[in-house]
A and B are shown apart, each in its own frame.
Chain A
């Protein structure tokens, strides 16, 4: 006899089964397609070195390998160097040298404009991403932005024991002659330099003389010019006190025990994004698995670990920020926080950035 007080089990089971089926549906439906695709010997992902590569391995590549059995190799060729190789390979109908390119959004957009990127519009994990993930000024999804990052003013606590520098003009202080650093092409500093030089952010790109004046004054302080890993090394070797760099580099130095901190000065700080894209010309099965790699990189699981290791806000909303960056001025936790930053639109960067690089080079070569 049926117990009248017993709760009906079937509906609960049905509910659980139904939920599981709903969650698994996209994967189950894709399974036959996946089984039909021959797995490649490896997936090659171009990456930046140091903390950047470690974070990618921990957050995306190793879990992807564990899930699919496909080894992932990181190609640490500079982003600027791999680009012409990919462009040439696509133009000549050769298989490109990598499967997935981890690139700056500006450079990725240049490749998209050249028509060498695959469309990622079919990826299931594009759903639910922040609007920041969508490439600006392009049709479809020739690339997907994966996180944002700020170019902060990093400083040694020895040089600023009491409080953080309040303005980017601290880099112009003769007391820091030969002890300031920036990227060798000036990236990340254009917008703050424009404001700190007495100009308006809105005047970019039309009237940038205040920006170039800032760089000229900075040149008098003989800054060191480098790439991502240089900043960590320079802080570590006590070569510099101040640097305009991505927060991840300063954070890595701090995690290595160096007394380094960072701030967003009163003028604001540049906010930018990095992207993932797949070059055209891959064999069909390799393209499929490259897409799966990018798709996985956009999942909550991968974004949580990857972006936390980098100390950067992911494009997947609702994830936990790293404990040491909760409330950090350089870590935008919401869409509203993004307003604090200086964001030069990607189409403007694509059109003008090269000429700005030339201008900085012209100033810095003295």
Chain B
């Protein structure tokens, strides 16, 4: 008699064949795509709803949306300098934060991956995860304590007869807070890409006479491209949609698009304008990310890029 395990497997196979016959096996890849399609589909329905809402203006006699369709909200967004300034400020901050975060995250991730000392690796991991677990709002308030008029920084400056300096409630303060917030995301995305680069490749380069700088430029950096692209895209999209940091660190005068959306929905009670700003933000962020993929290629995200480079090297 066949063992029970095998019989169960036979039963499962029969059941599978009943539900999903072999002639349909060509559809298997599409079946794998189903969960993602469902999630994206729900998002798309939400986006369509938002797009529809954005085409109505607020009737201030009843505080309901006028049923007539109009593009007046979009005309207001692109006709009023304030919204264009907010879009530009958001875009510039996202670029700055992405650049600065990658610059700081790369050596951190490299050290994390390459250090031969387990204690140092643990220390780096703890230092990375501790603020990560705190959440954005608590970290932003932490910065207020550190950088405030009576904060640690100004207390330290006062000891050497300097200051006080005003770093909070400024654009620079928002960027600083965001860089600190994004650092763990970038390191976590860069670390696997750097781990995938065999140490031997670097050693081979050095043994062939390349300086550490040349090795870094011609070996490490190109092979780390998937991680850099992934980290860059994640940091950029998280920054461009961020709300809490400009709200808390910006002092009210350094709003991002998300803050303008919040104001439209909650302060102005105007869901039409809020939805229009939401669509603009979605399109803006998507275009930038699409441009990034266009420049570096979507394949850069996968290990295929590394394999290609290895094959070519």
Contacts and interface: CB of A to CB of B under 8 A. Distances in A.
B215 interface: no
A113 B62 contact: yes
A contact residues, range? 20 to 34
A224 B252 contact: yes
A83 B7 CA distance: 61
Interface stretch (B25-33, B98-106, B231-239, B267-275): B267-275
Interface in A84-114: 84, 87, 110-111, 113-114
B152 to A, nearest CB: 13
B149 A239 contact: yes
A80 B267 contact: yes
B63 A185 contact: no
Interface string B75-115: 00000111001100100000000000000000000000000
Nearest to B271: A84
A209 B270 CA distance: 24
A224 B251 contact: yes
Nearest to A236: B150
B166 interface: yes
A364 B250 CA distance: 12
Interface string B267-308: 111110000000000000000000000000000000000000
Given A361-B263, A366-B85, A84 B268 contact: no
B253 interface: yes
Nearest to A238: B149
A354 B268 contact: yes
A358 B268 contact: yes
A301 interface: no
A238 B163 CA distance: 14
A83 B253 contact: no
Contacts of B169: 178, 224
B148 A114 contact: no
Given A114-B64, A178-B166, A237-B148, A354 B253 contact: no
B80 A225 contact: no
B223 to A, nearest CB: 43
A225 B63 CA distance: 26
Given A81-B266, A224-B251, A354-B269, A361 B60 contact: no
Contact of B148 (A78, A239, A357, A364): A239
Interface in A331-366: 350-351, 354, 357-358, 361-362, 364-366
Interface in B147-192: 148-150, 166, 169
Given A113-B63, A238-B149, A354-B270, A362 B81 contact: yes
B61 interface: yes
Contacts of B60: 350-351, 354
Interface in A67-84: 78, 80-81, 83-84
Contacts of A238: 149-150
A159 to B, nearest CB: 14
Interface hub of B60, B86, B267 (most chain A Cβ within 10 A): B267
Given A114-B62, A114-B63, A238-B150, A362 B82 contact: yes
A124 to B, nearest CB: 30
A357 B80 CA distance: 14
Contacts of A83: 266, 269
B80 A362 contact: yes
B253 A226 contact: no
Interface in B239-270: 251-255, 260, 263, 265-270
Given A224-B169, A238-B149, A365-B254, 20 more contacts: A83-B266, A83-B269, A110-B63, A113-B61, A114-B62, A114-B63, A224-B251, A225-B253, A350-B60, A351-B60, A354-B60, A354-B268, A354-B270, A364-B252, A364-B253, A365-B82, A365-B85, A365-B86, A365-B253, A366-B85
28 contacts: A83-B269, A84-B271, A113-B63, A114-B63, A178-B166, A178-B169, A184-B252, A185-B263, A185-B267, A224-B251, A225-B251, A225-B252, A237-B148, A351-B60, A354-B268, A354-B269, A354-B270, A357-B267, A357-B268, A358-B82, A358-B268, A361-B82, A362-B81, A364-B252, A364-B253, A365-B85, A365-B86, A365-B89
